[in-house]
Chains A and B, each alone.
Chain A
């Protein structure tokens, strides 16, 4: 009885891995393309898992669907469009550039540019400041030293 209960639990449990080799497409190139896509698609009923990682029934269905489309020769964009139509943008783990995701993609670039501009500006300001700090008398002394060295 306990053994049956255990086996029942094992069957119920979420298995550790998802990628089902049994359903793989015969053409390795196509299968590789399908797998690339698996990794970019979210299993919507899971917590932060791609359909490549998840073994939820939904992920299984989606994998079959993607394979079917890849085999039919659809492009990556076509397949994504199709899935977004059906499930919304939520299905894409890498959001596409749009008005709503502009901050997401432009944010890092903006921070980087700001940092560079700010650092260069600060460096220039400081060096100019240092030059301006010389009084006329100091400048005379400096010139004298430079002349002597020359």
Chain B
């Protein structure tokens, strides 16, 4: 019964979306305030009904209702409660429902918090948002219905993929989708502006906070996914350039570019057309990501052809929205008036460079991800595009961009002085040279790129605060004065400083953990020790342990440093009987920002020896602390007064029908 209520709620949400897609849009064309106001109610109604559907599915999972096919395929009565809840979106249908839920959350947020938006813009934005909702609700109802019943109901479910039975599943997909789907707001604003044929700085002031919010969620989502892969997959990698990862990375790159170009538009009224295009492209890449991950096209071009309904459906959604919005762009963009002249060396110029490099990076990832698929589909030839390709192409672009990052905030709008900016960065350059030299000396003949990358990282980390130092007159006026000035700085400046610093930290972490990791692998028996990075790892005991729906093979170690026991480490292999799968639960010991990563390999039954792999990963935690700092910077920027003040609101008075 409850499952049917959920199903019916989805239908009602679809009806509301259809109303919202037509009535306010029609109202905006006719300047009819009553029709336009319909959107507020329908947006909130959609949220209520999709939430209801989501609650119904969650209920089916929590109560292990095995008459629902989706629950049978992805759950088990012995599964811990937390994974019953997260299992709701740990499968195709449920994750598409989460997608739709987040979409309507954003739509309702625009309806609720967009009170001082110009009325026509708001009506158009919500109408476009509803078009997206229609597409995805239809997709759910027709091709991915999570509420399908099975009769007779089996007694037990088939359990969730063990790799997903982790706290990471609770956090990673919701964050990622908040990012993906959040860009739909920027997209809706862009399409609304094109329909209206009008765009100004106030528009950018509206788009920027929504983009910023989506971007910071996506940043956290990607970082969380990376950390999850690091500790769960068991070989300590943090980024694999896997197509699924690339699918989330492309909207992030484009979204980062959008964030910066919206800045230019807001402050200087320049780059209007480009900003609109980027908003469209960013959401298109989010849709593309959904298509790549959900259609099965990645496992094989042929898997897509075997069960074409879902893949084809998303492909049509993709084609309609990307094609439609780009066609609209082609028709209307020429009419948008550009403004705001600037010299090549200026804040605007720096942001244009940022956009060129980020766009190229996005294109590189896109080509690298799609080209093998295209080639196979066209000629049948199979090639591989893996990490070495991306390191060789994306790597230089990223390094070039990072070199430029500290300069940007130091250049004045309209016309900047590169020499002046460089003078403000001498201490950052000094820190960079010093760090590079130290790294070169310490590594003694290791990879040459590493000290170079460390130098760039330090340049970015220290240089990120150059604007703050300059504007607070640090060490040039009294500390009290500096503090007063610091408090008076716009929050966006602080946000940029933290975000850029986070970028540098990530590069430092990636470089150190890749270039200077130390790995030891050995067969060990209880009592034996392994030396790694000046520490001694002693295997104390091995044994079996029962969990709720798995059994662990556990190995306990004592870590000793210069003869003294520092800590205990536990590493295990976890066997899930239902799916007959094993996962690795790595043991992690943290020293400052570095970690010792202990994982288990094969077991020799004859003498009880177990293969142990210990890897010392210097500064590895910086890889994820960086994105957290970036998101924190985004949060500070979001709190900036300038973003909250918003546009003046003459719209309501003007739109009253004439007496």
Residues of chain A whose beta carbon lies under 8 Å from any beta carbon of chain B: 3, 6-7, 9-11, 13-21, 39-40, 42, 47-48, 50, 53, 55, 88-95, 100-101, 103-105, 107-108, 111-112, 115-116, 119-120, 123, 126-127, 130
B360 touches A17 (CB 8 A): no
Check B295 for interface membership: any CB of A closer than 8 A. no
Smallest CB-CB separation from B385: which chain A residue?
Answer: A95
| CB neighbours of B233 from chain A (8 A) | 16
A18 touches B235 (CB 8 A): yes
Smallest CB-CB separation from A19: which chain B residue?
Answer: B521
| CB neighbours of B522 from chain A (8 A) | 21
From B352, B384, B385, B582, name the one whose CB has the most chain A CB atoms within 10 angstroms: B384
B383 touches A101 (CB 8 A): yes
Per-position binary interface string of chain B over residues 344-361, scored 1 when its CB falls under 8 Å from any chain A CB and 0 otherwise? 100001001001110110
* Contacts known (A107-B363, A115-B360); A94 close to B603, Cβ less than 8 A: no
A50 touches B553 (CB 8 A): no
| CB neighbours of B519 from chain A (8 A) | 19
**B235, B352, B357, B603: which contacts A53 (Cβ < 8 A)?**
B235
* Contacts known (A10-B553, A19-B519); A111 close to B389, Cβ less than 8 A: no
Stretch at the interface among B23-31, B107-115, B364-372: B364-372
Smallest CB-CB separation from A40: which chain B residue?
Answer: B388
| CB neighbours of B352 from chain A (8 A) | 119
Stretch at the interface among B56-64, B374-382, B459-467: B374-382
* Contacts known (A19-B519, A50-B387, A101-B383); A9 close to B580, Cβ less than 8 A: yes
A15 touches B381 (CB 8 A): no
Residues of chain B whose beta carbon lies under 8 Å from any beta carbon of chain A: 233-235, 237, 240, 242-243, 299, 338, 341-342, 344, 349, 352, 355-357, 359-360, 363-364, 367-368, 371, 375, 379, 381-389, 392-393, 397, 519-522, 544, 551, 553, 573, 575, 577, 580-582, 584, 586, 599-603, 605, 611, 613
B389 touches A11 (CB 8 A): no
| CB neighbours of A93 from chain B (8 A) | 384-389
A100 touches B383 (CB 8 A): yes
A116 touches B367 (CB 8 A): no
A53 touches B237 (CB 8 A): yes
| CB neighbours of A20 from chain B (8 A) | 521
A3 touches B386 (CB 8 A): no
A17 touches B234 (CB 8 A): yes
Smallest CB-CB separation from B393: which chain A residue?
Answer: A108
Smallest CB-CB separation from A48: which chain B residue?
Answer: B242
CA distance A101 to B383 in the complex (A): 9
A17 touches B613 (CB 8 A): yes
B603 touches A50 (CB 8 A): no
| CB neighbours of A89 from chain B (8 A) | 381-384
| CB neighbours of A3 from chain B (8 A) | 544
Q: In the assembled complex, how far is the CB of residue A24 from the closest CB belonging to chain B, in whole angstroms?
A: 10
CA distance A130 to B600 in the complex (A): 68
B364 touches A10 (CB 8 A): no
**A18, A101, A111, A130: which contacts B363 (Cβ < 8 A)?**
A111
Smallest CB-CB separation from A13: which chain B residue?
Answer: B582
| CB neighbours of B379 from chain A (8 A) | 100
CA distance A15 to B237 in the complex (A): 15
| CB neighbours of B375 from chain A (8 A) | 100
